[in-house]
Amino acid sequence: MKFFVDTADVADIAELAATGLLDGVTTNPSLIHKSGRPFLAVVKEICGIVDGPVSAEVVATDYENMLREADIVRKLADNVCVKLPLTMDGLKACRKLTSEGTMVNVTLCFSATQALLAAKAGATFISPFVGRHDDVGFNGMDLIEDIRLIYDNYDFTTEILVASVRHPVHVLEAAKIGADVMTAPPAVMRALAKHPLTDRGLEQFLADWAKTGETIG
Ligand code: E4P
């Protein structure tokens, strides 16, 4: 399972990339706003920090202008992945861009039939939003299961990128289903490594080690 981080904060991205556990980055207009930095500059900087795909979202809603914006974004770096909304114009732009060899992440997916369309449009990634799905009383993981089944039925190569991840259990469930990728905020990424028994065990080992009076090396 690939791990992407969902942020435009370069300090967080650099810290997580240094662990060797980060496979890519996703951003969206809200995260760019939160970063307080100019869109193109921050995306370019992120692309220099990680080798994997960096999703950068266009804001046009019509086909022609989506392509115009995508053309600016994809020139930033080889690892840019153009993010397009799951609309008919977005799907049409997805088909065009992927046929030209540009990576595309189709975002704001809330149904399995939308995901089916994205795969038929040649999307590199489909982003079903599990947290927002849960928020309105549906089970986001049912959606991931359905998409996995459909993609496997037809050998679609579009990767399922579980988005809107809110906590480690989302990551656990997505991994059990066999999602290809998950994208989570930095705090959730760090929470994956935490366990109170690990902390307690380490504290005990270090206390006992100190009593030996030894040092290593
Ligand atoms: C994914 O690419 C989106 O940026 C993101 O996961 C949305 O998450 P949210 O619902 O927590 O805003």
- Residue 104: the pLDDT is 98
- For residue 44, being part of any structural domain is answered with yes
Ligand 1 surroundings by CB, under 6 angstroms: 6, 26, 28, 107, 127, 129, 131-132, 163-164, 183
From 2, 44, 83, 120, the catalytic residue? 83
- Residue 199: the pLDDT is 98
Could you give the number of structural domains in the chain? 1
- Residue 120: the pLDDT is 98
- For residue 200, being part of any structural domain is answered with no
Examine the residue annotation and report whether 83 is marked as an active-site residue of this protein.
Answer: yes
- For residue 205, being part of any structural domain is answered with no
**In testing the pocket of ligand 1, which one of 2, 3, 4, 6 has its CB within 8 Å of the most ligand atoms?**
6
CATH of the domain at 11: 3.20.20.70
Q: Which residue range(s) make up the domain with 121? A: 2-192
Residue nearest atom 9 of ligand 1, based on CA coordinates: 164
Query: What Å distances lie between residue 16 and 11, 26, 30, 80, 128, CA to CA?
Result: 9, 13, 21, 19, 23
* Percentage of the residues of the chain whose pLDDT score is greater than 70: 100
- For residue 217, being part of any structural domain is answered with no
Residue nearest atom 11 of ligand 1, based on CA coordinates: 164
Which pLDDT tens digit goes with each residue over 130-189?
999 999 999 999 999 999 999 999 999 999 999 999 999 999 999 999 999 999 999 999
Please list the alpha-helical segments (H only) found in the chain: 10-17, 29-35, 39-49, 63-74, 88-99, 112-120, 130-135, 140-154, 168-177, 186-191, 196-212
- For residue 115, being part of any structural domain is answered with yes
Which pLDDT tens digit goes with each residue over 64-104?
999 999 999 999 999 999 999 999 999 999 999 999 999 99
- Residue 190: the pLDDT is 97
Q: Report residue 68 as tokens.
A: 């115009």
Query: How many Å lie between the centroid of ligand 1 and the Cα of residue 6?
Result: 7
- For residue 116, being part of any structural domain is answered with yes
- For residue 207, being part of any structural domain is answered with no
- For residue 216, being part of any structural domain is answered with no
Query: How many Å lie between the centroid of ligand 1 and the Cα of residue 107?
Result: 9
